[in-house]
Amino acid sequence: VFSKIFSHEALESYLPKIQLVIKDTLRAWSSDPEPINVYHEAQKLTFRMAIRVLLGFRIPDEELGRLFEVYQQFVENVFSLPVDLPFSGYRRGIRARETLQKGLEKAIQEKLQNTQGKDYADALDILIESGKEHGKELTMQELKDGTLELIFAAYATTASASTSLIMQLLKHPRVLEKLREELRSKGILHNGCICEGSLRLDNISSLHYLDCVIKEVLRLFTPISGGYRTVLQTFELDGFQIPKGWSVMYSIRDTHDTAPVFKDVDVFDPDRFGQGRSEDKDGRFHYLPFGGGVRTCLGKHLAKLFLKALAIELASTSRFELATRTFPKITLVPVVHPVDGLKVKFFGLDSNQNEILTGTDAMLGATV
């Protein structure tokens, strides 16, 4: 059922909505006179994308903001010790989940009652219809659980990768310019504007350098460190016997750091994935930002599409610069992100790629 949510047809229908959410967000970032905390704002962006696009909820902005704060409290306490005492992280997490589920139940009920004016089938629609196809009407609790799982899957890792993408574009302006050149050559970017109707799924898939940039961000800054598998049959590895039933952890980050196919592993180099080198093609499990095997991440195509849409908007309609003297250190827990969140000042651009002055700057410009 969940695989239908991330099918090619579903992604095609999500794309215009994803673009709209990203455009609105970048416009808000550019209108803020102060530098923004990219990681925090990226969390808001991915949460909004999950609510508005994946689930199709029409929640007012003010209520959405409150729901985001509650959701953050839930996420912050997911890994608490299971000690149910007043003021414990566990208790705060349980209360946040209860508040979340009340808000989600209200949104689901409103959605089920208002089916008019829809121009695409979102993930929740697909879940409900798939349940009916299998002769099972999903209960409200099952819908709430599925909804919360989708939000959780789309939230932290995508916000982490989005922040890493922005940081690498700041560090490597030549990469950003090369992205712009590819967009121009494909007829997507013209005179500083994205050509209307040019961003379709097949067009985005044809942007090979953009694909290399996203792959390199995910290689060097994989949001999560690894995953777990259960041993189905006793086997031997490097002289050690691993018994059936044991849990095995595989490390994505260590694999990327030690895989012999990658040259200069610490260097951000999108061209390593280009046609001339194709370092990710030499061997099966050297590159695995989304895991591997039958349990590979179901949402990987949606995540990559979101990152590509964000990169296209950043390259086309924004100018941004680091607001601190040096780039921040990176922490790996709970997902990869800059210690200070990455402070960046965004500037809007007009159709000729000139900065749009706002507030006091605009008044000074007019005076001059």
Cα-based distances in Å from 274 to 60, 102, 208, 342: 43, 48, 8, 29
86: left (phi over 0), alpha (psi -120 to 50) or beta: beta
Token pair of 192, please? 């500083």
As a three-state string, the secondary structure of 101-156 is: HHHHHHHHHHHHHCCCCCCCCCHHHHHHHHHHHCCCCCCHHHHHHHHHHHHHHHHH
Q: Per the annotation, does 193 bind a ligand?
A: no
Q: Is 312 helix (H, G, I), strand (E, B) or coil?
A: helix
- Give the CA angle between residues 49, 309, 312 to the nearest 5°: 140
**Cα dihedral across residues 323, 325, 326, 331: positive or negative:** negative
Please state the residue numbers annotated as binding site: 297
Please state the residue numbers annotated as binding site for heme: 297
